Structure 1
Amino acid sequence: MPSLQESAQSLMSLDGAVAFAVVDHTSGMTLTTVNAVPFDIELAAAVATEVVRAQMRAIDQLGGEQLVDDILITLSGQLHLVVMSRDPRFAGLFSYLVLDRERGNLALARHRLRAAAADVEL
């Protein structure tokens, strides 16, 4: 079973990967980060934490029993993918991947993020 850091490094092999982090949405703290190019993943993860919290509040207020699986933020040059953990071992965590919009493959990134979450060891 790969470590969290090994899994993060593996995700950076995705074509167009810019940066990756595992983030605790309760505190906004990152557990691990990896960058392929200069990018402030710590700041981006903190902002993504606010997006996750807002989405969770909205669902709560709507009274739904739905859970957030993922959130996609599409920018002119990047894709920001937030994937929530469903594993009880990683309650409160989400994976955050930034892809170059022209080079990245969103479907493959989603697949690899889910597979990595199932195989990682903290």
Structure 2
Amino acid sequence: MPIPFLQRIQALAGSAVNKIVPAGPGPAAAAAEQLLKQLLSGLPELLAAAVVEVESGQLLASYTTSREFNLSKAIGFNAEVIRQQRRAMQALQLPAEEQLDDILITLQNQLHLLRLLSDGRRFLYVAVDCRDTNLGIARAVMRTCQE
């Protein structure tokens, strides 16, 4: 039985762990939640994942395995990375058929992937431990997560 008071106390402790959290009600958040469920079925060992609007940097749904992994702080910066890469591609005057597909950020023990969704207005963010998941598998699973 859900007790509202206890849920508010849990929210004060930080983000939910091992649970998909939609940003709010509505069809966009519901679609994002469904996308993360699809992703988790293919990458159950991932560290964090989110669906984000590119232009606003707004989080639509998120999932993390650790309270220390603060997605809300990182997401805005990741949205800016995509916006800057798009500007760089315009500056290079690349042909119109050249579209940004994904961006890989490699850390010593983690891989962070930003993959644009088919509408180009949202992206899927995934962080995995490179000791548990290889890049090819992560990219293949992310490709299947389209609406």
TM-score range, shorter chain: 0.7 to 0.9
Indicate yes or no: 2:116 matched with 1:84: yes
**Rg bigger for which structure?**
2
TM-score after normalising by structure 2: 0.70
Instruction: Give the unaligned 5+ runs of structure 2.
Output: 1-29
Which protein is richer in strand relative to its size? Answer: 1
TM-score after normalising by structure 1: 0.83
- Give the Cα separation in 1 of the matches to 2:86 and 2:112: 18
2:144 to 103, 110, 115: 115
Instruction: Give the unaligned 5+ runs of structure 1.
Output: none
Q: CA contact under 8 A between 1:7 and 1:116: conserved in structure 2?
A: yes
Indicate yes or no: 2:99 matched with 1:62: no
Cα distance per residue 1:22-55 (max 9 Å; x no partner): 1111101111111122211121211111111111
Structure 1 runs of 4+ with >4 Å offset? none
- Give the Cα separation in 2 of the matches to 1:22 and 1:29: 9
Indicate yes or no: 2:51 matched with 1:22: yes
Q: CA RMSD in A?
A: 1.8
Cα distance per residue 1:4-27 (max 9 Å; x no partner): 313313423515400101111110
Please tell me the residue identity of whatever aligns with 1:44.
A
Q: CA contact under 8 A between 1:78 and 1:101: conserved in structure 2?
A: yes
Structure with bigger RCO (C-alpha 8 Å, 6+ apart): 1
